Amino acid sequence: MGRKLLTEHINVPGIDTFEVYRKHGGYRSVEKALKTMTPDEVVEEVKKSGLRGRGGAGFPTGMKWSFLAKPEGIPRHLVCNADESEPGTFKDRELMSKLPHLLVEGMITSSYALGANTSYIYIRGELLYVLRILEKAIAEAYANGFLGKNILGSGYDLDLHVHPGGGAYICGEETALLESLEGKRGNPRNKPPFPAVQGLYARPTVVNNVESIAAVVPIINDGGEEYAKIGVGRSTGTKLISACGHVKNPGIYEIELGVPVEEFIYSDEYCGGIWKGRDLKAVVAGGSSVPILPKDLILKTAAGENRLMTYESLSDGGFVTGTMLGSGGFIAMDETTCIVRNTWNFSRFYHHESCGQCSPCREGTGWLEKVLHRLEHGHGHMHDIDLLVSVAKQIEGNTICPLGEAAAWPVAAAVRHFRHEFEWHVTHAKQAAQPGAVYPAQGVLA
């Protein structure tokens, strides 16, 4: 049983109230930071922890913080990215709705480290009910002197506000999020300038994922070095994995980084295996945008080593035989899953969510979806399969923001690992177009 740094008390009755949360050690990190540490010491501690951004990119949080520009006389901001929208990912929703004070506490400690006096939590608009929970927690924190003027007599002031989005996956991209927070369309910005120099209202800004901010709490409480002892290599600490799809026990699991993938899928402590006694076919391990891997490659690397739940192990083999930890959205697919249909579904998602600002993504995502739709519905040609790879390649790397890659990778990976299934959709078009039709496993194919 691994340590639970974030979710230890998640099922304690009333933990969403200030009183109960405080009784269980809540807000200690704020006390420790504001009373005994300088802001730079807090940043240093986060650097030592080796914490990497939990939103998907895995960029070291401490390093991101140290990039923040600090020009005299210009306010700076911390913005929490609670726009959780990556298909397969639902950890932040769970964390915020059940442990709202953990995020509030993390925001206070982190804002102090960055010298921000006004901070925002940008939450996706669909989660208005979670916004209400957070606003209640924030009001309690104000009432108890943890927010507002002169927090705990330290002389540090902080206002914290929650801001809803309006239904747009792209606002999870940090500059689109800032545009949205400014009341505009969620069009990602050209970079440079980066948010650390010109972010919200053209002021220096750090944008961090909910889970990253929450992780600052145990890091400050126990020290960065303690945190770094958990995990393997550069994958330190614990990570929330949201398991979904065809696992027996979907839900969020806080794991110590380094758990073998096989154990995560099959152990009763975690997913409990595949539902309905079926066999596993494929896994999308880090949210819909990371490459899909067939069963043999998700359990073991190409070199035959056990695949671990770490940034490094999951990406072992690059995109040829590996994938990414991403946001921790772990989507398992059983043997009855049609990969072409699933790929089409993901492509439809990215087509729907493209902001439309830059041409490769605006046009390319729609193109991919239409070709996949044809293939899935029995109107595909053999040359469509290579066309998909080619169009994906034309999008990847050529767009303003990473949505281009997010749209391209799943398609390229599906063709890479399941080309036979795409071909079957052409050679057996009528059969494949039937609702629920699945490519027959090898050997069964007559």
Partner 1 sequence: MAKITFDGVEVEVPDGTTILNAARKIGGGIVPPAMCYYTPLKGSGGKCRACLVRVAAGSAKDPRPMPKLVASCVTPVQDGMVVENTTSQQVLDVRKGIVEMLLINHPLDCPVCDQAGECDLQNFAFEHGVATTRYEEERRTFEKIDIGPYIQLHMTRCILCYRCVYTADQLTDKRVHGVLGRGDAAEIGTYIENVIDNEFSGNVIDVCPVGALTDKTFRFKQRVWFTKPVNAHRNCEHEKCSGRVVLWYKGKDVLRVTARKDEYGEVKEWICNTCRFEKKETADWTIEGPAHVDRTSVISANHYELPVVNPQVIADLPESSVRDLENNPPLKLGAGRQ
Partner 2 sequence: MESTTATVKPQFSQAAQAEIARLFTHYPAERRKSALLPLLHIAQAEFGGWVSPEVQDLVAETIGILPIEVYEVSSFYTMFNLKPVGKHVLEICRTGPCMLRGSDELTANLERITGAKVGGTSPDGLFTLKEVECLAACGTAPIVQVREKYYEQLDTQEAVDAMLNELRNLVHRPLLPWEETGLQHTQQ
| Residue 312 contact partner, candidates partner 2, partner 1, none, CB within 5 to 8 A by sort of partner | none
Kindly state whether residue 359 participates in binding partner 1, applying the rule CB under 8 A. yes
Cα angle, residue 67 at apex, residues 61 and 73 outer, rounded to 5°: 125
CA–CA dist 275, 43 (Å, integer): 44
| Residue 98 contact partner, candidates partner 1, partner 2, none, CB within 5 to 8 A by sort of partner | none
Kindly state whether residue 251 participates in binding partner 2, applying the rule CB under 8 A. yes
Contacting range for partner 1; rule: CB under 8 A; set: 93-101, 108-116, 148-156, 357-365: 357-365
Exposed, middle or buried by CB within 10 Å (0-12, 13-18, 19+), for 276? exposed
Site track 271-310 with partner 2 (rule: CB under 8 A), x = hit: -------------x---x----------------------
Query: Distance between the two ends of the chain, CA-based, in angstroms?
Result: 46
| Residue 425 contact partner, candidates partner 1, partner 2, none, CB within 5 to 8 A by sort of partner | none
| Residue 217 contact partner, candidates partner 1, partner 2, none, CB within 5 to 8 A by sort of partner | none
Identify whether the C-beta of residue 143 lies closer than 8 Å to the C-beta of residue 24: no
CA–CA dist 402, 408 (Å, integer): 10
Q: What is the dihedral of CA 230, 235, 238, 239, to 10 degrees?
A: -170
Per-residue DSSP letter, 247: B
Site track 81-120 with partner 2 (rule: CB under 8 A), x = hit: ---xxxxxxx-xxx-------------------------x
**Which amino acid is located at 406 in the chain?**
A
Kindly state whether residue 76 participates in binding partner 2, applying the rule CB under 8 A. no
Nearest to 345 by CA among 368, 325, 322, 363: 368
Q: Please report, as residue ranges, which positions from 123 to 142 form the binding site for partner 2 (by CB under 8 A).
A: 124-129, 132, 135, 139, 142
CA–CA dist 241, 366 (Å, integer): 30
| Residue 267 contact partner, candidates partner 1, partner 2, none, CB within 5 to 8 A by sort of partner | none
| Residue 126 contact partner, candidates partner 1, partner 2, none, CB within 5 to 8 A by sort of partner | partner 2
SS3 353: helix
Contacting range for partner 1; rule: CB under 8 A; set: 3-11, 287-295, 358-366, 425-433: 358-366
Identify whether the C-beta of residue 375 lies closer than 8 Å to the C-beta of residue 424: no
| Residue 84 contact partner, candidates partner 1, partner 2, none, CB within 5 to 8 A by sort of partner | partner 2
Site track 332-351 with partner 1 (rule: CB under 8 A), x = hit: -------------------x
CA–CA dist 423, 388 (Å, integer): 13
Kindly state whether residue 199 participates in binding partner 2, applying the rule CB under 8 A. no
| Residue 370 contact partner, candidates partner 1, partner 2, none, CB within 5 to 8 A by sort of partner | partner 1
Site track 294-333 with partner 1 (rule: CB under 8 A), x = hit: ----------------------------------------
Identified binder of partner 2 from the candidate list 80, 261, 333, 358, rule CB under 8 A: 333
Identify whether the C-beta of residue 143 lies closer than 8 Å to the C-beta of residue 251: no
Identified binder of partner 2 from the candidate list 110, 111, 180, 323, rule CB under 8 A: 180
- Phi and psi of 24, rounded to 5°? -95, 30
For the chain, the C-alpha Rg in angstroms (whole number) is 22
SS3 120: strand
Q: Which is nearer to partner 1, 261 or 340 (CB)?
A: 340
Say which residues have a Cβ less than 8 Å from residue 426's Cβ, sequence separation at least 6: 375, 380, 381, 382, 384, 385
Identified binder of partner 2 from the candidate list 3, 35, 149, 161, rule CB under 8 A: 161
Exposed, middle or buried by CB within 10 Å (0-12, 13-18, 19+), for 253? buried
Q: Please report, as residue ranges, which positions from 136 to 195 form the binding site for partner 1 (by CB under 8 A).
A: 168, 185, 190, 192
Q: Is 60 left (phi over 0), alpha (psi -120 to 50) or beta?
A: beta
Kindly state whether residue 354 participates in binding partner 2, applying the rule CB under 8 A. no
Could you tell me how many residues of this chain bind partner 2 (CB under 8 A)?
Answer: 62
Could you tell me how many residues of this chain bind partner 1 (CB under 8 A)?
Answer: 30
**Nearest approach, Cβ of residue 189 and partner 1 (Å):** 8
Kindly list the distances between the CA atom of residue 395 and the CA atoms of 130, 359, 389, 416, 446, in Å, as whole numbers in the listed order: 35, 9, 10, 17, 38
Nearest to 242 by CA among 130, 328, 333, 332: 328
**Which amino acid is located at 339 in the chain?**
I
Q: Which residues bind partner 2 (CB under 8 A)?
A: 84-90, 92-94, 120, 124-129, 132, 135, 139, 142-143, 148, 159, 161, 163-169, 180-186, 201, 242-246, 250-252, 284, 288, 329, 331, 333, 337, 341-342, 345-346, 349, 352-353, 355
Q: What is the contact surface with partner 1 in residues (CB under 8 A)? A: 168, 185, 190, 192, 351-360, 362-367, 370-371, 374, 387, 390, 394, 397-400
